């Protein structure tokens, strides 16, 4: 009997110790994440008594603000027509559905509930004042965002525009968008979640997973120039196909004699497949890592890291196809914009950011974004050679639709095949990545339009419109 009591005591003591350790783990390791989780009802209860801070664009346009109706605050979002252009980036706040986007990522700051706000909150409580959170000033430009979204014409896709010199995100449009003001309306949430075709809640700019097609050649090209014994002037003959492991991989056409610059400008798959095979899997993966393709920059909102072929999938034919953006490679438009920014900024990718400042309600700056390098993708010399190929693409190659009068534009088109055994007639994704002015870049733009056709025909004119709008304010 005593033995049974002793065993029971040990069991209870062990359970008690495990419980203490688990609770300690939750408090120390998971406490911050759980406190800021979008579905945390305690945070929602606190918010009911706080005036949530306002979110502004870079020019002072209100993108989200709390308006009080009696004793109840209502979050109101900037709209154009029947959509909120910043829906997937700014996100939403809902008593029933939690929060998303920057509203979720900066919830504590917007509510004034950071550790630094503790004294102020105590004073507010003593003086019986309604607490007010802090404001966010974003890097986004409303005019540019609306132009980007309108240029997509409601097609599924995304546009990302960056300042390559600082990493500031100027536009991040995802289509289709939706009206965040209607989230709480009956049936709207169900529709948004069940709309599998449009998937409006998905931020395609950061979480879309797409084969990059030929825009990948600016990354592969950097690896080839850095690691393969090839000079920009070295030539090879493109018969319109390449044979790898006994399989024939067709090109878009026979390009004849090409060197690196021409191959990039006319988008010769054969050139990049052959040189990519010389680069090898190790060189290809190392180059992709240097460009941040498989990394997720700390942007505040969720970003899907790019993925490459793994394990037994790393065959020679897979490498050949991956070298020109097909195969198993999947990337987001943000990652391709950052790749373009690397070329525009002499090989250095600046850390991308969306929040420029955090301010008090009275306008005092609490925190300002620090401009800093994120990755060194390649050398200035190689970036310059790739720029020459991208200039050729716009001046006489596949990207002539991106030309802007009086401005030298560097760009790369991409047409990413989406055909499968189940859907052999699926149209390709349309891509373009470019920057301008080529000599002193001020803006980098990445565009994808899902299953819309060739990059030259569809994505390129959209990129041109966005770049021109960024360069010319009126």
d(CA 441, CA 301): 26
* Residue pair 161/445 in contact by the 8 Å Cβ criterion: yes
What 3-state DSSP class applies to 388? helix
d(CA 438, CA 392): 11
Residue tagged 């190790």 (tokens): 282
Q: From first to last of the 474 residues of the chain, give the pLDDT tens digit.
A: 666 677 666 767 777 777 777 666 656 665 555 555 555 555 556 676 788 999 999 999 999 999 987 777 889 999 998 899 999 999 999 988 999 999 999 999 999 998 887 777 778 778 778 889 999 999 999 999 999 999 999 999 999 999 999 999 999 999 999 999 999 888 899 999 888 778 999 999 999 999 999 999 999 999 999 999 889 999 999 999 999 999 999 999 999 999 999 999 999 999 999 999 999 999 999 999 999 999 999 999 999 999 999 999 999 999 999 999 999 999 999 999 999 999 999 999 999 999 999 999 999 999 999 999 999 999 999 999 999 999 999 999 999 999 999 999 999 999 999 988 888 889 999 999 999 999 999 999 999 999 999 999 999 999 999 999 999 975
Q: Where are the domains of the chain?
A: 207-471
At residue 26, the pLDDT reads 59
At residue 1, the pLDDT reads 62
Residue tagged 């026979």 (tokens): 254
* Residue pair 374/352 in contact by the 8 Å Cβ criterion: yes
Q: What secondary structure letter does DSSP report for 456?
A: I
d(CA 185, CA 34): 27
In 3D, which of 58, 91, 54 has the Cα closest to residue 354? 58
Parallel, antiparallel, or unpaired: how do β-strands 135-138 and 355-359 relate? antiparallel
* Residue pair 447/205 in contact by the 8 Å Cβ criterion: no
In 3D, which of 214, 161, 219 has the Cα closest to residue 339? 219
Containing 118, the helix (H) or strand (E) segment is: helix 118-126
**Angular region, 285: left φ>0, alpha ψ -120 to 50, beta rest:** alpha
* Residue pair 399/412 in contact by the 8 Å Cβ criterion: yes
Q: Edge to edge, what strands does the sheet with 429-436 contain?
A: 169-175, 157-162, 443-449, 429-436, 410-416
**How far is the first Cα of the chain from the last one, in angstroms, to the nearest whole number?**
90
* Residue pair 175/199 in contact by the 8 Å Cβ criterion: no
CB atoms within 10 A of CB 71: 8
At residue 41, the pLDDT reads 53
Up-side HSE of residue 432: CA atoms within 13 Å toward CB? 36
207-471 topology per CATH: Beta-lactamase (3.40.710)
Residue tagged 């088109």 (tokens): 413
């Amino acid at each position: 009997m005593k033995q049974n009591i002793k065993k029971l005591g040990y069991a209870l003591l062990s359970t008690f110790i495990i419980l203490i350790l688990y609770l300690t783990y939750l408090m120390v390791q998971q406490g911050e994440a759980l406190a800021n989780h979008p579905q945390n009802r305690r945070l929602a209860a606190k918010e009911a008594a706080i005036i949530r801070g306002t979110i502004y664009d870079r020019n002072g346009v209100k993108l989200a603000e709390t308006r009080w109706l009696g004793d109840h605050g209502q979050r109101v979002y900037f709209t154009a027509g029947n959509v909120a252009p910043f829906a997937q980036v700014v996100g939403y706040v809902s008593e029933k559905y939690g929060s998303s986007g920057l509203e979720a990522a900066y919830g504590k700051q917007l509510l004034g509930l950071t550790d630094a706000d503790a004294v102020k909150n105590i004073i507010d409580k003593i003086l019986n004042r309604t607490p007010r959170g802090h404001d966010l000033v974003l890097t986004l430009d409303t005019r540019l965002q609306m132009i980007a979204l309108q240029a997509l014409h409601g097609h599924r896709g995304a546009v990302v525009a960056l300042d390559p010199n600082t990493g500031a995100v100027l536009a991040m449009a995802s289509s289709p968008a939706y009206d965040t003001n209607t989230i709480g309306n009956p049936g709207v949430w169900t529709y948004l979640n069940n709309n599998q075709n449009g998937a409006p809640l998905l931020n395609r700019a950061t979480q879309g997973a797409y084969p990059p097609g030929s825009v990948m050649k600016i990354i592969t090209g950097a690896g080839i120039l850095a690691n393969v014994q090839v000079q920009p002037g070295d030539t090879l003959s493109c018969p319109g196909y390449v044979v790898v492991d006994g399989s024939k991989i067709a090109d878009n056409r026979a390009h004849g004699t090409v060197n690196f610059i021409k191959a990039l400008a006319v988008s010769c798959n054969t050139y990049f497949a052959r040189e990519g095979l010389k680069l090898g899997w190790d060189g290809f993966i190392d180059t992709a890592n240097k460009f941040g393709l498989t990394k997720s920059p700390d942007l505040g909102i969720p970003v899907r890291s790019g993925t490459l072929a793994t394990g037994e999938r790393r065959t020679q034919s897979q490498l050949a196809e991956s070298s020109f953006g097909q195969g198993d490679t999947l990337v987001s438009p943000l990652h391709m914009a950052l790749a373009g920014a690397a070329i525009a900024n002499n090989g250095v990718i600046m850390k991308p950011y969306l929040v420029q400042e955090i301010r008090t309600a009275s306008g005092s700056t609490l925190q300002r974004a620090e401009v800093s390098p994120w990755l060194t993708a390649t050398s200035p010399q190689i970036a310059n050679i790739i720029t020459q190929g991208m200039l050729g693409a716009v001046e006489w190659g596949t990207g002539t639709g991106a030309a802007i009068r009086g401005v030298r534009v560097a760009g790369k088109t991409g047409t990413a095949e989406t055909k499968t055994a189940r859907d052999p007639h699926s149209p390709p994704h349309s891509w373009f990545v470019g920057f301008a002015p080529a000599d002193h870049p001020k803006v980098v733009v990445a565009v994808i339009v899902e299953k819309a056709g060739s990059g030259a025909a569809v994505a390129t004119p959209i990129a041109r419109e966005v770049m021109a709008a960024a360069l010319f304010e009126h």
